[in-house]
């Protein structure tokens, strides 16, 4: 799924390192007098319309529900599901592990 409000721009003073930002902010970066930022590292374009939209994973209903669940409840669900080393996992890892079950 494409998220057209978040785009990638590139820092010409830092070996074309990518930087994800909101499209509105990208317009400001690209229009800055320093000329540091480009929307396409190959063509050196300064146009916001040339900036690549961010590709995002579409959340399933299960993932959304798990993300809304508090940390302790996720740990209890992981224990019940028999997920190894669930005690060492952060919330994002717990959500991913439970979604895979």
Q: How many domains does the chain have?
A: 2
Domain residue limits at 15: 2-55
Inter-residue contact 21 to 29 (CB < 8 Å): yes
The reply to whether 30 and 46 lie within a common domain is yes
The reply to whether 32 and 67 lie within a common domain is no
Instruction: Give the pLDDT confidence of 69-89 residue by residue, as tens digits.
Output: 999 999 999 999 999 999 999
The reply to whether 9 and 51 lie within a common domain is yes
* Predicted structure pTM score: 0.53
The reply to whether 43 and 70 lie within a common domain is no
The reply to whether 11 and 44 lie within a common domain is yes
* Boundary (domain end) residue, out of 19, 35, 55: 55
Instruction: Give the pLDDT confidence of 20-64 residue by residue, as tens digits.
Output: 889 899 999 999 999 999 998 888 888 888 888 877 666 667 878
């Amino acid at each position: 799924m494409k998220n057209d409000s978040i785009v990638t721009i590139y820092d010409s003073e830092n070996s074309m390192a990518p930087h994800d930002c909101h499209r509105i902010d990208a317009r400001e970066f690209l229009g800055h007098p320093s000329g540091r930022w480009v929307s396409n590292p190959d063509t050196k374009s300064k146009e916001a319309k040339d900036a690549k939209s961010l590709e995002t994973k579409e959340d399933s209903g299960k993932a959304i529900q798990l993300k809304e669940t508090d940390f302790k409840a996720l740990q209890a669900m992981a224990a019940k599901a028999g997920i190894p080393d669930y005690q060492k996992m952060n919330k994002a890892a717990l959500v991913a592990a439970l979604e895979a079950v």
